[in-house]
Structure 1
């Protein structure tokens, strides 16, 4: 059964543990601790980003925390446009990004309806980064994603997707005055593994309205209109990546074959 995650923003206390522990687990960079205020670059160094949204609430303003990350679409547009197969979907539902294959062409960034993949602008060999659902280090060995394990209020729930949908509907039905009647991700872009419920409409907490149809057919139409020059650049990047990878492998092999100082002595 495909996995699913339900994030209940009414239970979020903005503690940032989901973001911080993910950051530690994957040893991701965080420029906020380097004294920079360059907000657009922050997402490029995180798989999970906690956002605080101020929304009107009667005669005051309430702050709603949203643990933002890849939604892991049923039929991911990012994977359908990746020219080198750096993005693919696992049988369990996780949309996985493989760093070793990524050439930084940014096709996935343009194709994603949720604006999730981020580009490492200031890296010498820039690539794309995004949440991979802890697939390699957790799901693959039968464990839960890091963010789920550390959430102190259980705002993040994890299990089979069908169970998460049932839980979301149960909460909305039992407390209609507390929740806005919509599960974001249940049908958006054909359905996603990560879903959200909140006290306000999704648009008020940073989620855009997207089509309910599967996106790969739409993105293929988009790519067909990309100028030939752009495609040539992608091919050039692929060739450069392959050349660089083979050269590094050659240097490593030669280094291993060279005798050490002790052997020469």
Structure 2
């Protein structure tokens, strides 16, 4: 083995060892035991979009093209954008009231602030972190714009500022991190809701509240809390009168995304299978090319020409 080959092997081995150590370190981290969260009662939401307006105010976001009091916005299904961290959509599932009129269901969409977030696991520079208070916090000073978080998010929430060529950021709901970090602070959307469709508090308390409402009013709710177990649990929880699959909610496994991704990564790098396989393939290619050259006589021709 010459010096150049030795250095290549050493560098590859070091990278594999670092990746293995990184995977083990991430896999061993703990999630917050009882973070803050929000319970959204979809039977109470009236689609006033006060939560959208409060979010824009708290986060200094630009005014939307469609005013907050314009109901025509519900004609188009929307997703959060770099300029709108939360949006409300309207769904008709066929449910009618006592007068046989269609009853809409309004759905608030934002970052779910997972207990064990896939975006945090995917971020290679630590720009995204899960805080003890429940927020998945973004530090734009660390972000390098790789956008792995966008791929890793099972809810497809983070958005990138493609319109900003100089200082683009990844944008999403902040869970009003600064507000809830202070004693008594409440997310802007929860504080602004006029019908108390959004309840802010400790996650364990919210789960008990949700179960109590379902237990005491079985005709008004389906017996399920969305976010209790999805991808390991989320800080945003939902209860509804309609099946969640009819309201645009994704059906997701209970296993956290990082556990699956990191176990695969750890298995690949633990015994250096990745570099060994790579160099094995390269060696096979080099052997095949060298053998083909001898068979074609190209090696002897080149030798004759050189002489």
**Which bracket does the TM-score occupy, shorter chain normalised?**
0.7 to 0.9
DSSP 3-state at the match of 2:200 = strand
DSSP 3-state at the match of 1:61 = coil
2:117 aligned with 1:73, yes or no? Answer: no
Q: Is the CA contact 2:80–2:86 (under 8 Å) kept in the aligned structure 1? A: no
Which is higher, the Rg of structure 1 or of structure 2? 2
2:271 aligned with 1:201, yes or no? Answer: no
The alpha-carbon deviation at position 179 of structure 1 amounts to: 0.7
Name the CA distance, whole Å, in 1 between partners of 2:38 and 2:139: 22
Structure in which a larger fraction of residues adopt strand: 1
2:139 aligned with 1:98, yes or no? Answer: yes
Q: 1:172 to 1:42 in 2, by over 3 A?
A: closer
Once superposed, which parts of structure 1, at least 4 consecutive aligned residues long, lie more than 6 Å away? 37-41, 221-225
Alignment of 1:32-181 (within 5 A): 32-33=65-66, 43-58=81-96, 61-124=102-165, 125-136=167-178, 138-142=179-183, 143-181=185-223
The alpha-carbon deviation at position 52 of structure 1 amounts to: 1.5
1:27 equivalent in structure 2: 60
1:241 equivalent in structure 2: none
2:56 aligned with 1:8, yes or no? Answer: no
Alignment of 1:240-251 (within 5 A): none
TM-score by length of 2: 0.67
Q: 1:223 to 1:56 in 2, by over 3 A?
A: farther
Name the CA distance, whole Å, in 2 between partners of 1:102 and 1:90: 17
The alpha-carbon deviation at position 186 of structure 1 amounts to: 0.3
1:191 equivalent in structure 2: 233
Name the CA distance, whole Å, in 2 between partners of 1:97 and 1:61: 41
RMSD: 2.5
For structure 2, which runs of at least 5 residues remain unmatched after alignment? 1-33, 68-72, 269-307
Q: 1:215 to 1:66 in 2, by over 3 A?
A: same
Alignment of 1:220-239 (within 5 A): 220=262
Task: Deviation per CA, 1:166-211: give whole Å up to 9, x if none.
Answer: 1101111111111111100000001111100111111111110001
The alpha-carbon deviation at position 153 of structure 1 amounts to: 0.3
Aligned pairs, number: 223
